[in-house]
Structures are given as structure tokens and as C-alpha cells.
Homo-oligomer: A and B are copies of this chain.
Amino acid sequence: MSQNVFVSETCRLNLVNPILIQGLPGLGFVGKIAVDFLIDQLKPKRIAELYSTYIGLPDGDMGVRVELDGTFTLPKYEFYASAETEPNFLFLTGDIQPVAWGQYNVANSILDFASKQGCKMVLCLGGYSVQGRRMDLVYAVGDTVDTVEELKQLQGVQIAQSGAVKGAFGVLLGLAKQRKVKCFGLLGATPGTHPDLRAARNVLKVLVGVYRLPIELTDMDRKVEEMEARVKKFREFQSALPQQDQPSQTDVPRGYIS
């Protein structure tokens, strides 16, 4: 492990071939929302924290966050593990992407730690930018043609066929493949203009199907409806105003994935 990234174990669990599922902030916050919901529902144990000079506060500055109770914490990623589900899971969540020149170092440290836990498979969750196309789809990418064949069998999943997957999502998958660890990514279609609960829900629905997760998506459904009602109201309010300087909805480039 690099001296610029350090992983501190907080508890030890006996995991059997856990699947690493990473969800960090990215397009529409889809991956982060999905992983945080999984952590919320499956109640896995927090087993380790990752700190790094490459991981700053959400605005990119170095420092610590102050909590409501007056304590503080360095920016960090957290590993949660569930030994009781079948299969076992190892979740990675965090509030920010590493800086560009630290992406490889951080991803390699994550894979080193996962490998020490016996991890043989890596899954990244994120968003896929589409406009005017079907918004209920989940796009998938895989390390090999065989993995892609398996992904094609999943309901509601379409194979991504071009473009680039940027940031921590792409780098973790790329380096996992490099290590010959089976890996794939699920990307919820999203306009990417706001934290997209619906896209996260679509990704979760695929996961629930694949792993028969004991998860209630109704909570998520309620949140999605609330959010969409709020957005609708805001748009009505906005369209009642005289037109001025509205940022175009097509600002996000077509086909950008993250």
C-alpha cells in the first residue's frame, strides 16, 4: 500500500468470497445513493476506513468535517461488510472522488484490502448520461465477453457499447480486470442534472433480482415519488416566471458515463 493511502481496520469479520460493491459520487450520484441504501437496509458492519492525501473535503480542499456533536473526521472512504447474506458483500462508500493523479493509488489500495478479505468479484455502481432515451434502463459493462454474456441475461439491463467510464468507477474496474479479478459495472440511465433517486432505484432493482437481496424497495419508491413531485412543482413554478438565462437541459454531453 502506498504511503499516501492508508486503510485502518476497525473490526474483523470472517468473510467468504465477498463481492466488493463500490458507489462513489458521480453522474447523478447514482452509485453513491444505491450503495448507501444497501448499507441502510442490509445493516452490514463497518470494518475499515480508508484515508488518503488524495481524498479531500467535498469541495476539494484539505481538512476535516465538523459533526453535529462537535467532533471532527478526516475525509474517508468506509468499508462495510455483511457476513450473513449469501453471497457476502463488502461495500465501499464515500463523499468524494480521489484527485485525478491519485485515482490509481486509491483504487489499488481498495483492491489490496478487498483481496485480503478474500474478494473474488468487483461491482461498481454509477450513472449513465442519456437524453430523451429510455430512462428506466440500466446499462452494464463487463471485464470479459463471458461476463458481458451473463449481464445480457439480466432483466432491464442493456449492454453499453461505446464511450468511456470515467473516474473512480472506471479506474477500479480497469485495475480489477488488470488483476484478473472478475468485475462489472451497472450504470443507471440518468439526465445527470440532479441526485437521481429513480436511476439508483433501477440499479438496485437489478441487484435485488440477481442476488435475491432481502431489501424493501418501497422505501426508495416513496422517496422517488416525493422527489419527483418536488421537481415537478419547481418546474411549474419556473415556467410561470418570465424566461431568462435558463441553463439548457442538454448541457450534459450525450453518452458521458460515470
Contacts and interface: CB of A to CB of B under 8 A. Distances in A.
A117 B59 CA distance: 35
A224 interface: no
Interface in A32-67: 51-53, 56-57, 59, 61-67
Contact of A171 (B59, B63, B140, B143): B63
Contact of A162 (B66, B101, B174, B175): B66
A4 B65 CA distance: 27
Interface of A: 2-4, 8, 51-53, 56-57, 59, 61-74, 100-101, 103-105, 140-145, 147-148, 151, 159-167, 169-171, 173-175, 177-178, 185, 257-258
This chain: how many copies in the complex? 4
A101 B164 CA distance: 24
Contacts of A160: 66, 70
Contacts of A57: 164, 166
B101 A71 contact: no
Nearest 9 A/B pairs, CB to CB? A63-B170, A74-B174, A63-B166, A70-B159, A53-B104, A64-B170, A70-B148, A64-B174, A62-B103
Nearest to A258: B63
Given A3-B2, A70-B140, A72-B141, A174 B105 contact: no
